Copies of this chain bind each other. A is one copy, B any other.
């Protein structure tokens, strides 16, 4: 896993290299959050997908960077005083605490913009322009009003969600981008319909398991591991898988979705890395 993280990290460093111009502060602010200890889950899924399909992970690198930029911008905007008003993220002060609200808003905007600039720069032998456009369309859809942002709106507008709304919310807020990671990896690797569907199914179930584990960690995680206070869901009266089902049932649901995810990859021969990733995610402590 570390080799994929190193690949995407060094590509991301190139993308936000500070230039000596009057707006250099924006690059500092973008880089601050990009390198604040993210797990790189989405890029890793994308690169492992390419690898499983027999391609070099490098061919998805521009999109892997792009999806991490989009994930990061969403966290910066999420943490703003007008949204969740969080002071800490992964143990470090949030972007607006360091750079001020105006710069944090603009750093998020700039990361989102750079994401698309980086994605469409994807130019490798064997990856046709049509696939690049199709992959960029998946990325935009997953990040937009019927994807991640849609989930955000539902999240800030609803309280005491029932199971159905909770599932809907998470399928957009965290699920859409995780699914896009696999689907884009598959598209750029030249996969066909049945293969893309299988990878989409894997990511869909993995995304739910991941979210349930998130909810569990908010109850019984370790604040030092997580880099943020636990119990914030309860404090904000948020429905979670734990408040709806209790901790034991949540744990078994997370196992169940992980099984389902892994089962989706039965049609592939080299699915070992992705299966191991799924197992690792439900054992994670942060």
Contacts and interface: CB of A to CB of B under 8 A. Distances in A.
Interface in A1-60: 19, 21-23, 25-27, 30
A158 B23 CA distance: 10
Nearest to A138: B117
Give how many copies assemble into the complex: 2
B129 A133 contact: yes
B22 A154 contact: yes
Contacts of A80: 82, 105
Contact of A117 (B103, B144, B153, B157): B144
Contact of A120 (B77, B108, B137): B137
A136 B135 CA distance: 14
A114 B145 CA distance: 8
Interface string A135-154: 01100110111100111111
A136 B118 CA distance: 11
Interface residues of A, number: 55
A15 to B, nearest CB: 10
A133 B137 CA distance: 12
Residue from A82, A108, A146 whose CB has the most chain B CB atoms within 10 Å: A82
B22 A158 contact: yes
Contacts of A121: 137
A262 to B, nearest CB: 30
A88 interface: no
A153 B109 contact: no
A277 interface: no
B114 A112 contact: no
25 contacts: A21-B146, A21-B150, A23-B146, A23-B151, A23-B153, A26-B149, A27-B145, A30-B145, A77-B106, A80-B105, A81-B82, A82-B82, A83-B102, A106-B149, A106-B156, A109-B109, A113-B140, A113-B149, A116-B140, A117-B140, A120-B133, A120-B137, A120-B140, A129-B132, A129-B133
Interface of A: 19, 21-23, 25-27, 30, 73, 77, 80-83, 100-103, 105-106, 108-110, 112-114, 116-117, 120-121, 129-130, 132-133, 136-137, 140-141, 143-146, 149-154, 156-158, 165, 168-169, 172
Given A106-B156, A117-B137, 8 more contacts: A26-B145, A77-B106, A77-B109, A83-B105, A106-B149, A109-B109, A112-B113, A113-B149
